[in-house]
Amino acid sequence: MIQIIPAIDIIGGECVRLTQGDYDQKKTYFKDPLEVAKMFEEAGIRRLHVVDLDGAKASVPQNLKVLERIASGTGLEVEFGGGIKSGEALSSVLNAGARYAICGSIAVTAPEEFDSWLKQFGGDRIVLGVDTKNGFVATHGWLKSSALTASDLISKFTGSGLKQVICTEISHDGMLQGVDSTIYTGMQSEFPDIKVIVSGGISCVDDILGLDKLGLKAVIVGKAFYEGRITIEDLKKLSRC
């Protein structure tokens, strides 16, 4: 069964969701992210996706205390992204308890540094975040665009130990309108040795099952859970499959 990775996005220490990455379209769901993380753990989830939206905007992690509380208060493997643009920031995230560090903008703006992190920490800990908009990679919390395609970016690091890529199609994120699966199946086919993690657009359990049938390996579930379209009971059933 495809691995399900629930998402917690953080602004001001609270659990929120944006629509299409727009900070002006913010909705707060829970005051305490640890409460949500424990809920997921009790449902049988093993890996959690945490995004520091304040950090993404500020270009340096801003919610490390939240990360520490989740990492120490649960047994979840936390993948954490948002503002990891220096070696100091990367160390702070790993030291705060993240099992995986998600790095996106740095791979575009300073590929040599990202390459060195992959070689130092390995692809089991460093995850490439590829956020695409209109076919091109977006950076800096989705506020800027680059001239690279997802394939261009991934290709830069296949020889450096890259093992995991989280790909978000921004136009689908938070829209609850389903996933453009061709993006992900094409990416997984092009890079068969890399774990492609689907992000953006999941609206219901059937979307998850459809991705599973296509042979995709992991999927991030966010707004569909918070809006009640996917329940804790659904997660419990799927985690047992």
Residues annotated catalytic, as ranges: 9, 131
C-beta of residue 208 within 8 angstroms of C-beta of residue 229: no
Residue 137, H or E segment: strand 136-139
> The tokens of 39 are what?
């809920």
Whole-Å CA distances, 96 to 37, 87, 175: 16, 14, 32
Query: Pick from 183, 142, 123: which is nearest to 115 by CA?
Result: 123
As separate numbers, helices (DSSP H) first and strands (DSSP E) second, the chain gives 11, 12
- Cα separations in angstroms, 28 against 17, 174, 203, 223: 7, 13, 19, 11
- Which amino acid makes up residue 204? C
| Ordered alpha helix ranges (H), the chain | 33-42, 53-58, 64-73, 87-95, 105-109, 111-121, 150-155, 181-190, 205-213, 223-226, 232-240
